[in-house]
Structure 1
Amino acid sequence: MFIRTESFSQYIRAYPFVTALIVINIFIYALTGMPFSWSKELYYQGFGINALVAEGEWWRLLTPMFLHIGVMHLLFNMFSLFIFGPELEKITGKARFITIYMLSGIFANIATYFFGGIETAHAGASGAIFGIFGAFGALIYYTKKALPQLRQIMLPIIILSVIMTFLQPGVNIIGHISGLIVGFIIGLSYFHPKRVVSWRKR
């Protein structure tokens, strides 16, 4: 289910939104990592800094989900998106997938602002990635025993991801858990049996 067997061109055609998000994140990381003053300024202007959000810089509730703190941070998030994003994009459709991803990331940043303290600074796509996990959690909830393979794969991944959130230092716990919850809530709406039936009738 989550083993990617497509060629590069097949992957791009089949999962354009996942591909676009990966490209955007890598491009922005490369851009902000250049040895120029404007690169550092671009990075600073997009970072999630609660104190500056409080002063009216509301774009910082969106931009942190496209910035990463180091190459390993970027690679971990993009690898998760590369593996788990395509199946969700295929199941929900492109518009629903990008809605889950973006709203999970944005609300993770909003929750970090309201509950993280004025001194909090953060960046990363993890809130949106956890939103994908949350959406799969909703699908597991509805399908129960109908999709045992999905349950066997995703449930341990979700549980382990939550556990690691609390064990690893420097992790935005509020962002991770908020993204997971938002993805789950949106998934409950999208995967409701009555709504799924309406998809199939179109």
Structure 2
Amino acid sequence: MITLTISIILLTSLISFTAFSNQKVLDDLIFYPPAITNRNQWYRFITSGLIHADIMHLVFNMYSFYLFGDLVEKTFVQIFGESGKVIYIVLYVVSLIVCLLPTYFNNQNNYHYRSLGASGAVSAVIFAGIFLYPTMGMGIFPIPFHIPGFIFGPLYLILSAYLAKKGHGNINHSAHIWGAIFGIVFVVITTSFMTKFNAIENFLNAIQLYLGSF
């Protein structure tokens, strides 16, 4: 059975590979704030998540997404029942938009700014997974051992904020940060209004049990 996670990976890979060799496809789909401001091409918030800079960029994003997406998708079905898969898709699509809003407002008329990749949505799914399973082990290169998600999360956000402030490289660290935050907020809000599952209590209890085991 092909899961939603696999379907998203296949669709993103297909369009990304097409854009690698077709400049027009890349230009038409990339996140370009002036095109949104002046031509109302709002679809770019979503389509920019379907293209990537190169194969390594695509592989890194889709591999990270696969590792956490499969877990989050299954957990959403357990928590929300039949609506779980729809809510999972909503998380992914809306996070593509939300993670780029700060970038858009800061570059509405910046004709030199472009952004692409699914990193913001992937961050949303990863942090949704961390919030649901805060003690699962996560690796950070070059640290040779795993650390629990509730420690990895804050370290990742702090590092991303630092790199965003420094303007390090061509990576949109802002999208990572806002995607991650949205992933957690999305889980808290949807579970609070649609289920009896208390995500915050689950998060705190898991950490308490983990710390109590030492």
- Same fold? TM cut 0.5: yes
The answer for the alignment partner of 1:185 in structure 2 is: 185
Residue pairs, 1:153-192, within 5 angstroms: 153-165=148-160, 166-167=162-163, 168-192=168-192
The answer for the alignment partner of 1:122 in structure 2 is: 115
SS in 2 for 1:61: helix
SS in 2 for 1:124: coil
Deviation of the 1:104 alpha carbon: 0.9
Deviation of the 1:53 alpha carbon: 1.1
Which residue among 115, 125, 133 is the counterpart of 2:126?
A: 133
More helix by share: 1
Distance 1:153 1:192, change over 3 A: farther
- Counterpart amino acid of residue 139 in structure 1: L
Which residue among 85, 90, 95 is the counterpart of 2:86?
A: 95
Deviation of the 1:191 alpha carbon: 3.5
Q: How many residues align?
A: 175
The answer for the alignment partner of 1:32 in structure 2 is: 19
- Counterpart amino acid of residue 86 in structure 1: D
Structure 2 gap ranges (5+): 78-84, 139-146, 199-214
Structure 1 gap ranges (5+): 1-12, 141-146
Normalising to structure 2: TM-score of the pair?
0.72
